[in-house]
Amino acid sequence: MSKNPRGKAEELRLRLDREAGASGYNLNPDLDVTSLLCAGLVKNEGRYGYMSCPCRLASGKREEDRDIICPCDYRDADLAEYGACYCALYVSDAIAAGKKEAVPIPERRLPDEQRHEAPLDIKSAPAVKSGAGGGVTPPPGYPPTEDLSKKSPALGRQPGDGVKVWRCKVCGYLCAKETPPLRCPICKADKDRFEGFAM
């Protein structure tokens, strides 16, 4: 990238636009907004060493801010519900085509004090409605679930049996490898944005 901050922001905007298009996403077509957001991302990368969302207050500690590193963990949910991510860098097809306008949306990220509480223990979480076979009842319109491990021994593996499954917290991409990829092939999020996924 060039040394000029404006040049860096423009290079970033062009790269993000290419990556977004290749991944099925849209950058906000308003170049003034997008350029300003990219300048904020470049500034935050210089300040913190990572591109935290320019519309949120970063702690300066990557491990505490992983959820708000662009593209943030909340992008897809915000796009689905509101048509734009929190900062409106990424927008829906309708907004990109000029059929709708991006509007301010509520913050999805939990407040600081709630984010730092102990994570929810799945075993102590409230039970979900079970179907006749003891499995989770799928939402209306989805086919009934079945235990696929009975059909394929490979699907019946237990944790620690060799292959691990990693889930990208940004887009949900799954990969079965010993370690997560350096970069998500779908949304381009970095390796540290992956978490272990238990099946």
Per-residue tokens: 46:
């210089």
One domain for residues 161 and 106: no
Higher-pLDDT residue of 9 and 138 is 9
Each residue's pLDDT tens digit, 124-180: 433 333 334 334 443 444 344 444 344 434 444 454 556 799 999 999 999 998 888
Each residue's pLDDT tens digit, 49-92: 999 999 999 999 999 999 999 999 999 889 989 999 999 999 99
Q: State the total domains in the chain.
A: 2
74: alpha, beta or left? (left if phi > 0; alpha if psi -120 to 50) = alpha
One domain for residues 160 and 94: no
Last residue of a domain, one of 114, 134, 167: 114
Q: Are 38 and 12 in contact (CB under 8 A)?
A: yes
Domain that holds residue 166: 149-199
The CATH number linked to 178 is 2.20.28.10
One domain for residues 188 and 110: no
Let me know if residue 144 belongs to a domain: no
Q: Taking the model in full, what pTM does it have? A: 0.65
One domain for residues 21 and 80: yes
pLDDT of residue 118: 52
